[in-house]
């Protein structure tokens, strides 16, 4: 489902039709793809669909995922996305040799990964994005998945998310306004998720800017505008990756922990475009 259009940037590790047939309730989660971002064999990117129509509360016990107390009165959609995301995390980590892990969040709602693991998680009302790696890889990881923002809503949100210069960068890639805005929103969310474990503070959409893109906006360079602690000064560059499929946008960032992203710097030097 996914890897057919992203072979330049991702190396498929499993066929995209793989489902959780190895677990009970696999009709709830389907169309799984597990991929390795190019140049990062120690990082795993997982995508999966889940189906609200196949959800029922008995799946929590069937799939051995405890239902948190705070979700007892949550709407069905919220319980379903929680279950789907935790099943995907457990499945991904089992491939690294960590079995039976149940992901919890801290007081800031940030994921608490097991020792030795770094990662990021995102979900919409029907699909999951997950990226994980070993802590020893010394990388920061962020992922975000979004439905394309409706045009009317995009017009309302534009000034909050993106500057005129950023919009021009992305529109040079031929993206429609609403898609360009969604890409910018998603990339900045991915960057925030990647940096939060280190900076432990909120990032505004204007704290980072999009400064370069390749021809189809599948690779985008971002630059910090604001200074953050822990070796993240204003001017630091990051390379973001984007997958656009119809009305879906997936973005992810894999960046060195304690060093500048030299590939991003090289891309920016390349006449303002990303190769």
Q: Has 122 been labeled as part of a binding site? A: yes
Q: Is the separation of the CB atoms in 129 and 153 below 8 Å? A: no
Q: Has 273 been labeled as part of a binding site? A: no
Rounded Cα distance, 118 and 138, in Å:
9
Q: What is the DSSP string of the chain?
A: --GGG-TTTEEESS-TTB--TTSTTTTTEEEEEEEEETT-TTEEEEEEEE-GGG--THHHHHTT-PPPGGGTTS-HHHHHHHHHHHHHHHHHHHTTT--S---EE-TTS-EEPPTTEEEEEEE-SSEEEEEEEEGGG-EEEEEEEEEPPPHHHHHHHHHHH--HHHHHHHHTTT--HHHHHHHHHHHHHHHHHHHHHHH-S---GGGEEEEEE-TTSSEEEEEE-S-BTTTB-TT-EEEEEEEEETTEEEEEEEEESSS--HHHHHHHHTTTB--
Q: Has 51 been labeled as part of a binding site? A: no
Q: Has 189 been labeled as part of a binding site? A: yes
Q: Has 193 been labeled as part of a binding site? A: yes
**∠ CA(17), CA(25), CA(247), 5° rounding?**
45
Q: Has 58 been labeled as part of a binding site? A: no
CA distances from residue 263 to 55, 119, 196, 199, 217 in whole angstroms, order as listed = 43, 21, 22, 22, 16
Q: Has 123 been labeled as part of a binding site? A: yes
Residues flagged as binding site for CoA: 78, 86, 122-123, 144, 189, 193
Residues flagged as binding site: 78, 86, 122-123, 144, 146, 189, 193
Residues flagged as binding site for Mg(2+): 144, 146
């Amino acid at each position: 489902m996914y890897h057919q259009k992203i072979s330049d940037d991702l190396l498929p590790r499993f066929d995209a039709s793989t489902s959780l047939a190895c677990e009970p309730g696999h009709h709830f989660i389907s169309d799984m793809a597990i991929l390795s971002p190019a140049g990062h064999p120690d990082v795993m990117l997982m995508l999966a669909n889940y189906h609200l129509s196949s959800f029922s509360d008995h799946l929590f016990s069937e799939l051995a995922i405890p239902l948190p107390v705070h979700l007892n009165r949550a709407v069905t959609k919220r319980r379903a996305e929680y279950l789907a995301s935790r099943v995907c995390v457990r499945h991904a980590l089992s491939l690294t040799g960590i079995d039976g892990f149940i992901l919890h969040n801290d007081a800031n709602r940030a994921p608490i990964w097991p020792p030795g693991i770094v990662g990021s998680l995102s979900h919409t009302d029907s699909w999951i994005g997950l990226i994980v790696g070993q802590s020893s890889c010394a990388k920061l990881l962020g992922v975000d998945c979004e439905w394309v923002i409706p045009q009317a809503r995009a017009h309302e949100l534009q000034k909050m998310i993106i500057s005129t210069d950023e919009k021009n960068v992305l529109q040079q890639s031929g993206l429609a306004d609403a898609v360009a805005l969604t890409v910018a929103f998603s990339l900045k969310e991915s960057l925030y998720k990647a940096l939060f474990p280190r900076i432990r503070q909120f990032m505004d959409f204007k704290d980072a800017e999009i400064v370069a893109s390749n021809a189809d906006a599948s690779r985008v360079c971002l630059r910090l505008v604001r200074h953050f602690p822990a070796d993240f000064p204003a001017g630091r560059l990051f390379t973001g990756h984007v997958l656009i499929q119809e009305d879906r946008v997936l973005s992810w960032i894999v960046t060195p922990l304690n060093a500048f992203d030299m590939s991003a710097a090289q891309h920016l030097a390349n006449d303002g475009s990303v190769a």
